């Protein structure tokens, strides 16, 4: 028996390979102390009527080793069967990276389980590589990134995020004493329906220690929780297998996406903080090198939709500048032929009717009012009547002999083709090199459904997408990229690592948005949460809220403005300027702070101060509103022995922790800065 321990900031992950070498199994995963005693997941007692591999806490189950319980890897070869028995041959541990190698001699299949756990974080990254060392191809029919075993003797309490366009990131939970629960996307894109994130707590203690798994993949994916008859849970995470299977040719390899597991003794909120800390490491290199600093943007979409005209955009820009905005982003409608959503995609030339003096002149005008410039693109799509579609019909994604599917009046380019990937890169590089662009909003407004001709379409498309995003970072490091997909249709760890911010939803109505953002923050960090103030009415919750409320909702992420500012009065602009000024002062705490949801808001805990947002949602209770009965909202993570300034008041930490900050009820929201006094 050989054991390996991966130690994170507060949690530990221990795996072992038994003497027989037929599998790796989990010994413990949880707070450091779990490694100090007997395993919490090892089976005890007699196994009736099943081979041991079916009940062992396997790290990665292969069909042929495990039979009855679900397996992560199912592979067939020319012999026409789907069994495989890789046996342990070697381990390599280098710093925070562990590799366990297994070999099936009959198939010449080498399976490597990869682990990485940084000592500063509480996440374990897991992926596998499958190598064909033989002379015959084999086919992968099921190919997960990992299996995560979680001790839930009382059954599983599963939390997940679901939604649809305009109502993404809705929080939901189910109790599963036994059985299987799956969420997925078969849309070729992360999708609006579910987020690739599943969390688990023991059903006997849903707010206790919580484990979660996210998959770093922006194509089709699936996450399943299997709760066995004893109540123990196992999460499988991976790409959706193609019905044709994935061919691994002799001498070649297949590498899975990374599945990321995290654990927190502080319940689902602590789990969210563990994922936030991990996601911030993606941005660290860029922010530390000062390549980019987040900006307050104005986005034209809600104000002008496709009716982009330079003079009108400039009027909006002047008003945005008065409000303190830093970058003006022209959304859809700026390029030739784009008067509505039926045409233009693929022909990425500036429309002279929209910009009669040219785009450079417009950017100069923006500079004069003190604004940077950003542009919207949707590079993966093509309109059927575009010049691009006529010139390169072979680039359109279709299945041989069938009409390509039209969704939102558009087709997709076949991004599995390297020539298409190169063309997209060259188009973006040309735009970013020809014009002074400091912000790019990358949209994707339809799922990828056609089978295409590439056997591993999903794998190739996502790999090319990632390569293009990485090339933008390398070649244009000063350009901030916002990921968008018809709202929040592509929010996942894969994108989080390659863009600077993500657009969670097209729903910007105050109460709807607040709910969406609360869901978003359960899995994704506030530095990734793009949010604009608009005039939109609620789609789901139409109750009115003040303009301040809208600002405070947007200030809890990456603040932007998307309202039609030509209709805002001087007083409204002045109020906007006050909010934007406050935001510029607190945005570091919002982006980097520890996120603690409060009874009626959220506290972002920074190194030397906290920012507290409180919102009166009016959900489910009717309160007296006497101004002489202010509410008190207790805070967290303050030093009880220190004094803190909150607006005009000073209180000891002990009071703020146990009694709270005062909310007098004269406003429907507030943003408080809580600063420690020396």
Residues binding ligand DGJ (CB under 6 A): 301, 331-332, 376, 443, 445, 484, 486-487, 503, 506
| CA proximity to 481, closest of 622, 592, 12, 468 | 468
Helix axes 510-521, 547-555, angle to 10 degrees: 20
Q: At closest approach, how far in Å is the CB of 97 from ligand DGJ?
A: 38
Q: At closest approach, how far in Å is the CB of 117 from ligand DGJ?
A: 36
Q: At closest approach, how far in Å is the CB of 489 from ligand DGJ?
A: 8
Q: At closest approach, how far in Å is the CB of 495 from ligand DGJ?
A: 14
Q: At closest approach, how far in Å is the CB of 439 from ligand DGJ?
A: 13
User: CA–CA separation, 609 vs 118, rounded Å?
Assistant: 27
Q: At closest approach, how far in Å is the CB of 320 from ligand DGJ?
A: 17
User: CA–CA separation, 270 vs 149, rounded Å?
Assistant: 19
Helix axes 570-592, 547-555, angle to 10 degrees: 30
Q: Which is nearer to ligand DGJ, 57 or 374 (CB)?
A: 374
The residues near 45 (Cβ < 8 Å, ≥ 6 apart) are none
Cβ 254 vs Cβ 455: under 8 Å: no
| Total Cβ atoms within 10 A of residue 152 | 28
Cβ 193 vs Cβ 185: under 8 Å: yes
Q: Which is nearer to ligand DGJ, 88 or 334 (CB)?
A: 334
User: CA–CA separation, 233 vs 266, rounded Å?
Assistant: 19
| Total Cβ atoms within 10 A of residue 358 | 13
Q: Which two tokens stand for residue 659?
A: 């009694």
The burial class, CB within 10 Å (0-12 / 13-18 / 19+), for 666 is exposed
Q: Which is nearer to ligand DGJ, 148 or 334 (CB)?
A: 334
The residues near 11 (Cβ < 8 Å, ≥ 6 apart) are 29, 30, 31, 32, 122, 262, 263, 264
Residue nearest to ligand DGJ (CB): 332
Q: At closest approach, how far in Å is the CB of 120 from ligand DGJ?
A: 35
Q: At closest approach, how far in Å is the CB of 116 from ligand DGJ?
A: 34
Q: At closest approach, how far in Å is the CB of 95 from ligand DGJ?
A: 41
Q: Which is nearer to ligand DGJ, 210 or 445 (CB)?
A: 445
Q: Which two tokens stand for residue 137?
A: 């191809």
Q: Which is nearer to ligand DGJ, 231 or 483 (CB)?
A: 483
Q: Which is nearer to ligand DGJ, 382 or 635 (CB)?
A: 382
Q: Which is nearer to ligand DGJ, 210 or 304 (CB)?
A: 304
Q: Which is nearer to ligand DGJ, 12 or 445 (CB)?
A: 445
User: CA–CA separation, 183 vs 222, rounded Å?
Assistant: 6
Q: Which is nearer to ligand DGJ, 238 or 486 (CB)?
A: 486
| CA proximity to 563, closest of 501, 510, 488 | 510
Q: At closest approach, how far in Å is the CB of 506 from ligand DGJ?
A: 5
User: CA–CA separation, 609 vs 385, rounded Å?
Assistant: 55
Q: At closest approach, how far in Å is the CB of 201 from ligand DGJ?
A: 33
Phi, psi of 271 (to 5 degrees): -60, -45
Q: At closest approach, how far in Å is the CB of 484 from ligand DGJ?
A: 5
Q: Which two tokens stand for residue 247?
A: 């061919």
Distances (CA, A) of 204 to 83, 171, 223, 553: 38, 20, 23, 34
User: CA–CA separation, 588 vs 91, rounded Å?
Assistant: 42
Distances (CA, A) of 306 to 4, 301, 343, 406: 57, 8, 11, 20
Q: Which is nearer to ligand DGJ, 413 or 586 (CB)?
A: 413
Q: What is the CA radius of gyration of the chain?
A: 26
Which 8-state DSSP code applies to residue 284?
Answer: H
Q: List, edge to edge, every strand of the sheet that includes 327-330.
A: 501-502, 480-483, 439-442, 372-377, 327-330, 297-299, 558-561, 530-533
Q: Which is nearer to ligand DGJ, 166 or 185 (CB)?
A: 166
Q: Which is nearer to ligand DGJ, 335 or 503 (CB)?
A: 503
């Amino acid at each position: 028996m050989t054991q390996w321990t991966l130690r994170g900031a507060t949690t530990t992950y221990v795996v072992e390979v038994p003497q027989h070498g037929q599998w790796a199994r989990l010994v413990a995963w949880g707070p450091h102390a779990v490694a100090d005693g007997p395993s919490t997941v090892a089976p005890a007692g007699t196994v009736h009527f099943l081979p041991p591999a079916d009940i062992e806490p396997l790290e990665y189950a292969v069909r042929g080793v495990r039979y009855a319980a679900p397996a992560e890897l199912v592979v067939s070869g020319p012999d026409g069967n789907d069994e495989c028995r890789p046996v342990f041959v070697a381990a390599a541990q280098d710093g925070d990276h562990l590799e366990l190698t297994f070999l099936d001699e009959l198939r010449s299949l080498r399976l490597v389980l990869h682990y990485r756990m940084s000592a500063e974080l509480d996440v374990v990254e897991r992926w596998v590589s499958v190598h064909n060392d033989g002379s015959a191809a084999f086919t992968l029919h099921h190919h997960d990134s990992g299996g995560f075993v979680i001790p839930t003797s009382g059954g599983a309490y599963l939390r997940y995020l679901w939604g649809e366009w305009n109502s993404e990131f809705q929080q939901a939970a189910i109790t599963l004493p036994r059985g299987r629960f799956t969420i997925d996307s078969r849309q070729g894109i992360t999708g609006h329906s579910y987020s690739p994130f599943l969390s688990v707590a023991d059903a006997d203690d849903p707010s206790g220690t919580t484990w979660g798994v996210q998959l770093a993949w922006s194509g089709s994916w699936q996450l399943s929780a299997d709760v066995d008859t004893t109540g123990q849970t196992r999460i499988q995470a991976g790409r959706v297998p193609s019905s044709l299977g994935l061919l691994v040719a002799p001498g070649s390899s297949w590498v899975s996406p990374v599945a990321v597991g995290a654990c927190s003794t502080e319940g689902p909120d602590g789990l969210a903080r563990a994922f936030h800390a991990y996601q911030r490491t993606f941005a660290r290199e860029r922010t530390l090198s000062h390549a980019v600093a987040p900006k307050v943007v104005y986005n034209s979409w809600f104000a002008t939709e496709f009716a982009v005209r330079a003079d009108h955009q400039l009027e909006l820009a002047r008003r945005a500048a008065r409000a303190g905005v830093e970058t003006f982003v022209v959304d859809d409608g700026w390029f030739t032929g784009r008067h509505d959503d039926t045409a233009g995609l693929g022909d990425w030339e500036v429309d002279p009717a929209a910009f009669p003096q040219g785009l450079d002149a417009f950017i100069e005008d923006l500079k004069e009012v003190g604004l940077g410039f950003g542009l919207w693109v949707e590079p993966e799509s093509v309109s059927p009547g575009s010049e691009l579609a006529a010139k390169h019909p072979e680039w359109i994604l279709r299945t041989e002999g069938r009409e390509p599917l039209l969704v939102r009046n558009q087709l997709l380019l076949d991004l599995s083709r390297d020539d298409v990937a190169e063309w997209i890169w060259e188009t973006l590089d040309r735009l970013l090199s020809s014009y002074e662009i400091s912000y790019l909003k990358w949209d994707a407004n339809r799922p990828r459904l056609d089978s295409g001709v590439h056997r591993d379409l999903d794998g190739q498309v996502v790999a090319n997408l990632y390569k293009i995003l990485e090339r933008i970072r390398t070649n244009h490091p000063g350009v901030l990229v916002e990921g968008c997909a018809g709202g929040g249709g592509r929010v996942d760890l894969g994108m989080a690592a390659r863009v600077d911010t993500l657009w969670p939803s097209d729903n910007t109505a105050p109460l709807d948005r607040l709910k969406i953002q609360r869901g978003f923050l359960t899995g994704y960090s506030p530095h990734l949460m793009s949010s604009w103030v608009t005039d939109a009415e609620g789609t789901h919750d139409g109750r009115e809220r003040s303009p301040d409320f809208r600002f405070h909702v947007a200030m809890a992420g990456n603040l932007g403005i998307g309202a039609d500012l030509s209709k805002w009065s001087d007083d409204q602009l002045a109020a906007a300027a006050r909010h934007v000024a406050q935001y510029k002062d607190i945005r570091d705490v919002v982006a980097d702070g520890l996120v603690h949801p409060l009874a009626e808001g959220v506290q972002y805990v920074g190194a030397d101060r906290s920012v507290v947002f409180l919102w009166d949602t009016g959900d489910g209770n009717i309160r007296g509103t006497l101004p002489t009965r202010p509410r008190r909202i207790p805070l967290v993570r303050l030093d009880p022995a220190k004094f803190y300034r909150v607006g005009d008041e000073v209180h000891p930490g002990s009071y703020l922790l146990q009694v709270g900050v005062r909310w007098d009820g004269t406003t429907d929201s507030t943003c408080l800065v809580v600063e420690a006094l020396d």
